[in-house]
């Protein structure tokens, strides 16, 4: 479904991704963890060309992504949930949800609204359809952002630290929605610091540091028997005793 082949990324002189190779299968739930500055966000952002790789190849759904076809390919295959939600503040929640389906997927307004209400039910916020996003709490905004991503009905959803900007008491409501989603046949790539979530949901966990993938495995192997020293010390620091 997603394949990164020898992907390198430079920001000026900074070598952020070093020959990253990674494959994600259809329906797989992949969690990427690692310290900040390890290149995990950049990796996910290369999957929809929010960052164009400096070299290497990205294949989505069997097609190589280039700067020419990226918009079409992204529209067809991927959606994204951001750390800062990035809801459109000048539109109501409903308008946020129907905008792309109407403008880009040529759905009728009725179809798009039906879809929107369906996914608002999924995230449990149907009653917020007509309010503006800024009146909602962070957790609610992020659930709306997830509903907006679902309205795109793409096979892939990318999550870039979806709970990192949230107040602690609203993190769980967002994670609960994501756990429910994980039961569907959606390919999910999640950058997160939520280890409990990773353990519960991931088919595979990847540890990145210094722009490289240092270890990968099933959650059990990964968390209970880490081999890499960097990973051991990382887990030691973030998992509360």
Partner 1 sequence: MAGLFSANAWNKIWVYRETFLLGLKNTAISAAFGLLLALVIGVLLGLFATSGKRPLAVVARIYVEFIQNTPLLLQMCFLYYALAFSGHSLGILVTGILSLGIYHGAYVAEVVRAGIEAVPKGQFEAAYSQGFGYPGRMFCIILPQSIKMILPPMVNQVVNIFKNTSCLYIVGGADLISITYSFVTGESTGGAYAPAYLVSGLLFFLVCCPLSSLASMWEISLKKREGRSGGMDKRTERVA
Which CB atom, from 4 or from 149, has the smaller least distance to partner 1? 149
Distance in angstroms (rounded) separating the CA atoms of residues 23 and 4: 6
Burial degree of 131 (CB within 10 A; 0-12, 13-18, 19+)? middle
Which CB atom, from 79 or from 187, has the smaller least distance to partner 1? 79
Q: How far is the CB of 89 from partner 1 (least distance, A)?
A: 7
C-alpha dist (Å) from residue 177 to 31, 96, 154, 168 = 16, 19, 17, 16
Sign of CA dihedral 107, 146, 135, 85: negative
Q: How far is the CB of 19 from partner 1 (least distance, A)?
A: 25
Which CB atom, from 104 or from 179, has the smaller least distance to partner 1? 104
Helices and strands: H and E segment counts in the chain = 9, 10
Binding positions for partner 1, rule: CB under 8 A: 36, 48, 50, 71-72, 74-76, 78-80, 82, 84, 86-90, 99-100, 103-104, 134, 138, 148, 152, 158, 164-168, 193-195, 238
State the number of CA atoms in the 13 A half-sphere of 194 facing the CB.
Answer: 25
Q: Which of 73, 67, 62 is nearest to 154 (CA)?
A: 73
């Amino acid at each position: 479904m997603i394949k990164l082949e020898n992907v390198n990324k430079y920001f000026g002189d900074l070598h952020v991704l070093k020959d990253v190779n990674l494959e994600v299968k259809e329906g797989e739930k992949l969690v990427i963890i690692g310290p900040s500055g390890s290149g995990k966000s950049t990796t996910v952002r290369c999957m929809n060309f929010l960052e164009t790789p400096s070299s290497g190849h990205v294949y989505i759904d069997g097609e190589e992504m280039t700067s020419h076809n990226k918009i079409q390919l992204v529209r067809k295959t991927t959606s994204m949930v951001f750390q800062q939600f990035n809801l459109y503040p000048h539109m109501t929640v409903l308008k946020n949800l129907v905008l792309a389906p109407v403008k880009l997927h040529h759905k009728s307004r009725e179809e798009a609204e039906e879809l929107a209400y369906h996914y608002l039910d999924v995230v449990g916020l149907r009653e917020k359809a007509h309010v503006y996003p800024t009146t909602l709490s962070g957790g609610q905004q992020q659930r709306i952002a997830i509903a907006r991503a679902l309205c795109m009905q793409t096979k892939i959803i990318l999550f870039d630290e979806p709970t990192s900007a949230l107040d602690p008491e609203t993190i769980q409501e967002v994670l609960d929605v994501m756990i429910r989603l994980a039961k569907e046949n959606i390919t999910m790539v999640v950058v997160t610091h939520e280890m409990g979530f990773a353990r519960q949901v991931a088919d595979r966990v990847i540890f990145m540091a210094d722009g490289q993938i240092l270890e990968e495995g099933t959650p059990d192997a990964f968390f209970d028997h880490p081999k890499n020293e960097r990973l051991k010390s990382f887990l030691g620091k973030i998992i509360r005793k």
